[in-house]
């Protein structure tokens, strides 16, 4: 089995110097128009300098109406190139692979943030979302591809498509959400078509060694595990992506669906033939022992989220097998020292039990 500090090659693009990938973490720190802020630059470059083999941006929206949260990094216009270029250069200078996560929130774009009704594969009353026309689906595919081209122009080594967590690509995959009757709805094949067409477009229009990953959720959001396993099997057999990033919520858990229980959720993906495609897992991996256990269970690399918020140099710290992240809750001063700006600090303060709550004297 590989160890956590063994380099990992991809079919395309530079190798990771170790098996630690920074999770794409919402941090609310960019400017309202999507341009990179100094706070977000500092947050990400500290992780690259802290030893992550691959440093991924937060979810960066590919259309203005795809914005999912305030202060989100944008990759939908050339006005974003200056900041993205600066960021890519600094990440790579620190010896880390530089990747942008491409995102569109779909029905989860807040109306008061985007100024209009959000869009979705189908009308969705709960979110006040309207169905995309077929022409708009074509536009969405083009804008994902254009964002990849823009990321390449900025100097990034690759991009990851965000197909997880109930955002627009995940909405297409969900038979509960996607009620379309055209070529993008109905069968599992049709519901996954948008992802295949984006992948094909990125491959056609970016350089041959441009790294391409995909993040998937295996359950929740109306998804069916069998569909996601089949999609993962197909994508790894085709070899058009370089890695699959499975967001498991908890790397130790069993599937929610009763028919699949009795084995770990992770095992349904580690058991698949993967050819040259690398497989990574995310989900409450907080210690070196847990990270090593994921590799022993068959993953090629681990994606680190909360532990990377707590320690910008988690990979370096993990060289000591006995290392444990600082216990929660932590002070705002600790997080500030770890490179979180004011907006990110306020956001983390909303995570129950993460930040020490300041008390005021009566």
The model's pTM is 0.97
Q: What is the pLDDT of residue 321?
A: 86
Buried b / exposed e along 153-178 (16+ C-beta atoms within 10 A): ebbbbbbbbbbbbbbbbbbbbbeebb
* Separation between Cα atoms, residue 107 and residue 214, nearest integer Å: 20
Q: What is the pLDDT of residue 1?
A: 64
Per-residue pLDDT of the chain (362 residues; tens, 9 = 90+): 679 999 999 999 999 999 999 999 999 999 999 999 999 999 999 999 999 999 999 999 999 999 999 999 999 999 999 999 999 999 999 999 999 999 999 999 999 999 999 999 999 999 999 999 999 999 999 999 999 999 999 999 999 999 999 999 999 999 999 999 999 999 999 999 999 999 999 999 999 999 999 999 999 999 999 999 999 999 999 999 999 999 999 999 999 999 999 999 999 999 999 999 999 999 999 999 999 999 999 999 999 999 999 999 999 999 998 899 999 999 999 999 999 999 999 999 999 999 999 764 43
Please give the full DSSP string across 167-197, using - where no structure is assigned.
Answer: SHHHHHH-TTT----STTSSSHHHHTHHHHH
The answer to whether the CB of 215 falls within 8 A of the CB of 101 is yes
Strand partners, 244: 214, 279
The answer to whether the CB of 18 falls within 8 A of the CB of 302 is no
Q: What is the pLDDT of residue 361?
A: 40
SS3 assignment, position 25: coil
* Separation between Cα atoms, residue 319 and residue 290, nearest integer Å: 13
* Separation between Cα atoms, residue 76 and residue 79, nearest integer Å: 8
The answer to whether the CB of 127 falls within 8 A of the CB of 110 is no
106 secondary structure, DSSP code: G
The answer to whether the CB of 264 falls within 8 A of the CB of 253 is yes
Q: What is the pLDDT of residue 17?
A: 98
Give phi and psi for 201, each to the nearest 5. -70, -40
The answer to whether the CB of 317 falls within 8 A of the CB of 323 is yes
Q: What is the pLDDT of residue 362?
A: 37
Buried b / exposed e along 236-271 (16+ C-beta atoms within 10 A): beeebbbbbbbbbbebbeebeeeebeeebbbebbbe
Say if strands 119-120 and 243-247 run parallel, antiparallel, or are unpaired.
unpaired
Which residues neighbour 208 within 8 Å (Cβ) at sequence distance 6 or greater? 12
The answer to whether the CB of 109 falls within 8 A of the CB of 166 is no
Q: What is the pLDDT of residue 274?
A: 97
Length of the chain: 362
Give phi and psi for 74, each to the nearest 5. -110, 150
Q: Of the candidates 91, 209, 93, 216, which has an alpha carbon nearest to the alpha carbon of residue 152?
A: 209
Strand partners, 15: none
The answer to whether the CB of 142 falls within 8 A of the CB of 194 is no
């Amino acid at each position: 089995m590989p160890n956590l500090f063994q380099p990992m090659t991809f079919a395309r693009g530079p190798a990771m110097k170790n098996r630690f990938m920074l999770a794409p973490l919402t941090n609310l720190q960019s400017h309202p128009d999507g341009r990179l802020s100094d706070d977000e630059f500092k947050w990400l470059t500290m992780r690259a300098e802290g030893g992550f083999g691959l440093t991924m941006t937060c979810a960066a929206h590919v259309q203005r109406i795809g914005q999912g949260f305030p202060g989100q990094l944008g990759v939908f216009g050339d006005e974003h190139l200056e900041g993205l270029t600066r960021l890519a250069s600094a990440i790579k200078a620190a010896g880390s692979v530089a990747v942008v996560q491409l995102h569109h929130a779909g029905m989860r774009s807040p109306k008061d943030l985007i100024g209009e009704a959000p869009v979705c594969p189908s009308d969705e009353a709960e979110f006040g979302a309207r169905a995309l026309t077929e022409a708009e689906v074509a536009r969405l595919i083009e804008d994902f591809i254009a964002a990849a081209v823009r990321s390449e122009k900025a100097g990034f080594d690759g991009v990851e498509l965000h197909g997880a967590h109930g955002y627009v690509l995940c909405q297409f995959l969900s038979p509960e959400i996607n009620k379309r009757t055209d070529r993008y709805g109905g069968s599992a094949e049709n519901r996954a078509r948008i992802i295949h067409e984006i992948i094909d477009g990125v491959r056609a229009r970016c350089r041959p060694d441009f790294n391409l990953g995909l993040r998937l959720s295996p359950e929740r959001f109306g998804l069916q595990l069998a569909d996601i396993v089949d999609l993962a099997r197909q994508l790894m057999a085709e070899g058009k992506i370089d890695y699959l990033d499975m967001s498991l919520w908890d790397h130790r858990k069993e599937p929610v669906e009763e028919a699949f229980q009795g084995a770990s959720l992770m095992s349904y993906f580690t058991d698949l033939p993967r050819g040259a495609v690398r497989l990574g897992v995310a989900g409450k991996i907080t210690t070196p022992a847990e990270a090593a256990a994921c590799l022993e269970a068959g993953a090629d690399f681990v994606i680190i989220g909360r532990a990377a918020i707590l320690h910008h140099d988690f990979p370096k710290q993990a060289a000591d097998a006995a290392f444990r992240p600082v216990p929660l809750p932590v002070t705002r001063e600790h997080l500030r020292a770890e490179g979180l700006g004011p907006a990110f600090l306020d956001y983390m303060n909303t995570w129950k039990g993460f930040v020490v709550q300041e008390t005021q004297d009566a």
